[in-house]
Chains A and B, each alone.
Chain A
Amino acid sequence: MNREDFPILKNNLIYFDNSATTFKPQAVIDSMVDYYTNYTANAHRGDYDNSLKVDIQYEEVRTKVKDFIHAKSEREIIFTSGATDSLNRIVFGYMKTHLKSGDEVLITKAEHASNVLPWLELEKEIGIVVRYIPLENHIVTMENVEKSITEKVKVISLAQVTNVLGDVRPIQEIGKLCQKNHILLVVDGAQSVPHFPVNVEELGIDFLAFSAHKMLGPTGVGVLYGKEKLLEEMRPLEFGGGMNATFSSNGEVEYKSLPSRLEAGTPPIAEVIGMGAAIDYLEKIGMERIHQQEIELKKYFLERAKEVENLVIYNPDLENGLIAFNIDGVFSQDTAVYLNHYHICVRAGNHCAKILKEDLFVKNTCRISFYFYNTKEEVDELIRVLKNTKDLFQIVLS
């Protein structure tokens, strides 16, 4: 649906790599061009008209984000460069000063590198202990979460939706459990916020990270959500303009209040404005509708995939818009190169979840990830190509 809004779709291209990044609607592109063409100015600085307009636009996006994820206040919304940046700030700006040696952090082996490596670094730096919640059939179960909790567990950090299999974690139940046990819940929302409604209050999330470019917005901008009392205690990782109130040569420094204190330097203004336009666009369609369209496309794919021999699908039972598969006996990258020959874009590899293979027993998969602008006709073309793989190696090796 809404295909006419995406200029790139005019090219002869079937794009099934939406978990990596999404296409941008004209409205998002226009909003950024408008800023660069008609009212370029820095934020929070001047008293002239354009600067004021920038201020208003920039802060309006904060309100949009707040409403989009149902946060309590604008002071809980920090603009970052993306989910990776947000997670690093959580780990090094908050956890580093609030955890001590021996404290345990629970993650899983299906996490994206961005929710593994910062923790492993902190483990080396201050001696926290990173432990893995065992997966049941690749899935996080409440039973295993409960079993993993000890008195030393201070943080649980999980993707709401994983980027390899697309399973949705029971965040609300985990949130309740965390609250009861005084555990902080960090959620990587990179693969969930773009695809269905997320309500941080209802889910009991303490910190949430996500990126704009996976939800129709520009690259280079994302969001760090944190409960206000937590962000109040977060140490900035960057110091400079825009975040200080006063400072003097004798070393006396006072920083601004939230959210400015955590946004040093000139922010990505055009990108923030673009993200605002993306949120407007998504809300116009409706997040629930987006979710249903993706589920529908996967159902259709699974139905038609029965016609294809030698197709191994790793996550047929998960209700989402993501399919992890291989053609039996064909290396995933060769499958992706073959599909590229027919202008079909899929991702091959381990999808930045390098330790999942220890659990999945498959090192590499091809991944189809739908977004609402994909169509059944595109799935038909994919099936046609997958049914006719006799020339696969001719194509791959030529």
Chain B
Amino acid sequence: MDPALKRQILLEHYQNPSHHGLVEEEGYIKINTNNESCIDNLDMMYKIEDGKIQDIRFDGEACAISTSATSIMIDTLIGKTLTEAKEILKNYDAMLNEREYDERLLGDLNLYCDISKQPNRKKCAFLPFESLNKVLENEKRNG
């Protein structure tokens, strides 16, 4: 993809992220994601019903990469089953760490395919997925 177009999409997600703002509603699992850099701070909430991600909301302060990745991750995950979400997580992680992955599963998350060239930003791009990881572990324990 044209780098300028790619940056434009990311910037749009950063400035107008999807599903921004938490809701006062029952049925959500709340998770806080603190980056190990100790600077980003995202509160996430997941609504999962019948093994499917119905909704995700987020709020907090984070860098442009983390925020845009959160927005794109949410767009990608809503409507997916937990099994599908797990596959997306696995492949996204593989992409960030330069292992083989299936780009067909990742949609706009493919926009971060070059982030592995900037090791100090990998954590930022992975930050929202830390919360998904916790959700999946929770579900496994409870399920």
Contacts and interface: CB of A to CB of B under 8 A. Distances in A.
A46 B109 CA distance: 64
A375 interface: no
A98 B40 CA distance: 39
Contacts of B40: 333
A393 to B, nearest CB: 5
Contact of A397 (B10, B38, B39): B10
A393 B64 contact: yes
B7 A364 contact: no
Given A331-B61, A334-B64, A397-B65, A364 B39 contact: yes
A397 B61 CA distance: 17
B38 A350 contact: yes
B142 interface: no
B39 A332 contact: yes
A397 B11 contact: yes
B14 A333 contact: no
Interface in A62-90: none
Interface in A341-364: 348-350, 352, 354, 363-364
Contacts of A363: 41, 61
Chain B interface helix/strand/loop/mixed: helix
Contacts, number: 44
Interface in A97-137: none
Contacts of A397: 7, 10-11, 14, 64-65, 68
Contact of B65 (A348, A350, A354, A396): A396
B11 A393 contact: yes
Contacts of A32: none
B41 A331 contact: no
Interface string B4-30: 000100110010000000000000000
B7 A331 contact: no
Given A350-B38, A350-B39, A333 B63 contact: yes
A334 B63 contact: yes
A393 B41 contact: no
Given A349-B39, A364-B39, A393-B14, A337 B63 contact: yes
B110 to A, nearest CB: 15
Of the listed residues B10, B11, B64, B124, the one surrounded by the most CB atoms of chain A closer than 10 A to its CB is B64
Contacts of A352: 38
Contacts of B11: 393, 397
A364 B61 CA distance: 9
Given A337-B121, A396-B63, A396-B65, 8 more contacts: A331-B63, A331-B64, A350-B39, A352-B38, A364-B39, A364-B61, A393-B11, A398-B7
In the complex, the 8 A-B pairs of residues with the closest C-beta atoms, listed nearest first? A333-B63, A349-B39, A397-B10, A397-B7, A331-B63, A334-B64, A334-B63, A396-B64
9 contacts: A331-B61, A331-B64, A332-B39, A334-B64, A349-B39, A393-B14, A394-B7, A397-B11, A398-B7
Interface of B: 3, 7, 10-11, 14, 37-41, 61-65, 67-68, 121, 124
